[in-house]
Amino acid sequence: MPVLAQDSTATVTYEPSSVPKGIPDSVSVHNVYIVGNEKTRKNIILREIDIRPGIKYDWEEFLGILKSDQQRVYNLQLFTSVEITPLFVDGEEVEILVSVKERWYVLPGIIFDLADRNFSEWWVNQNRDFSRVNYGLSLYHSNVGGRNEKLRIMGQLGFTQAFDLVYSIPYIDKDQEHGLAMRFNYNTNKTIAVKSAYNKQVFYTDEDEDILRKNLTASLQYTYRGSYYNFNYLTIGYSDTKINEDVLSQNPNYFLDDGTRQKYFYAAYNFKHDRRDNVAYATDGELISAGLTRYGLLTNDDVNETELSLVANKYFRFSDKSHYVTGISLSSYLSPSQPYTLVRGIGYSPDFIRGYELYVIEGQQTFLNKNSFRFQLFDVAYDISKLIPIDEFSTFPITAYISANFDHGFVNDRNHIPENTALTNNYLYGYGLGLDLVTFYDQVIRFEYSINSQNQGSFFINMKAPL
């Protein structure tokens, strides 16, 4: 029977019966073979594999490297399953078989989603208003040319009318270290958030239902990946926002001046260290992300601001079924006031405290610590090939976790806006229980009941892993 070194997504296997005189102290790799990659180019997979032919490895070290290789290949998010098997061919010599099952890469889609920050915001604060729904068409190709290039084209109507074009290529060089990405976005709104009051967004629509805001952004990003787990991103971009003069009647400081247009260039550097076992829903490893963004590069730019950010998450696996997650998020603006287009704080993605999903807590500095203890209830996969006779969709997996959660944090607002002081500049916390479902193509659905530090309890639905 095969022995498995297993995680929640794929396996490293070997056959003890094929090992001469039991498991050896060390092995030497003869070759690496890849099967199942009908569209994905071999070099994209080999980029994630640390095992090298002609090198001798200690057996326990060898298994650990294979497991890390498997996790990196799966985290490309190109495959529904990845299995790595060492095959003994002569004494202590092995060949590596990497078997992958590819996803369906071209996904035309119908857009039907909410414009609000989360489902609970729409359900409670916006009274389930269907005029706040976005709809349209999109085309997403997650593996253009088999080189892990991403292409997304989206046309959207509804609450936000938008056109979005994104194209990225992870590697433009032979050594597979340098990459490029570009994005163009144009959107318009007839209803916009103009400010916050009593820690909730205040939306405005004028009587004639004119377009209140038009925004165009374009960016070019350079990436450098010198090692398996470390990523560097340098982004240069341009933003141009125009508003209807009626917006200034609702918030004269929307742009921090009396103008109706805001344009500026910006530059950002981000460093990411990512050793998570699963980028969609991690149960082991760590993530560190640090960023510096400068808004306003030229003397005639309308914004002059600098932002610092840090995210540090740690994932502790106790057993095959249980793990603990803790994460710290810090962000800070250097200036005391920002235009409303750059407002940050708790309640805006990705920073939130459970139990405060209905609120926004705005300010210049944010500290947040999120914690979850999770226990796996079941991990099953259903054969639906009779319903969908397409190999990439033939299996429907679902993994369920019950979670016990505790979040706490603080937002510093230097302006001390009177109607928001109930939650700004105060220690906040929230706790509760949840049910997390991880399903088809790494989609995450969370059902949670949380109680905040104001002793308000509510049920919330979210569509993404909290950290």
What would the DSSP string read from start to end of 323-379?
A: EEEEEEEEEEESSS---GGG-EEETSTT---TT-TT--EEESEEEEEEEEEEEEEEE
Q: Smallest Cα–Cα separation from 204: which of 188, 189, 193?
A: 193
Q: What is the token pair recorded at 87?
A: 């095959």
CA 412 vs. chain centroid, Å, equals 26
**Under-50 pLDDT residues of the chain:** 1-9, 15-18
DSSP letter for 190, please.
S
pLDDT at 149: 95
pLDDT at 113: 73
Q: What is the token pair recorded at 262?
A: 């805001």
Q: Smallest Cα–Cα separation from 351: which of 381, 375, 330?
A: 330
DSSP letter for 389, please.
-
Give domain limits for the chain: 3-102, 106-462
Looking up tokens 């009396």 gives 258
Looking up tokens 């240069």 gives 236
pLDDT at 12: 56
pLDDT at 50: 93
pLDDT at 13: 55
pLDDT at 412: 95
Topology of domain 3-102 in CATH is: Ubiquitin-like (UB roll) (3.10.20)
Dihedral angle, C-alpha 121, 123, 124, 127, nearest 10 ° = 120
Q: Smallest Cα–Cα separation from 100: which of 7, 34, 47, 5?
A: 34
Q: What is the token pair recorded at 333?
A: 């603006």
The distance in angstroms from the start CA to the end CA of the chain is 37
Looking at 2.40.160.50, 3.40.800.20, 2.60.210.10, 3.50.50.60, the CATH number of the domain 106-462 comes to 2.40.160.50
d(CA 406, CA 453): 11
Threshold 0.85, pTM exceeds:
yes
Cis peptide before 350 (omega within 30 of 0): yes
d(CA 339, CA 361): 16
Q: Smallest Cα–Cα separation from 269: which of 297, 236, 238?
A: 236
Sign of CA dihedral 167, 154, 202, 241: positive
pLDDT tens digit sequence for 40-73: 999 999 999 999 888 889 988 998 999 999 999 9
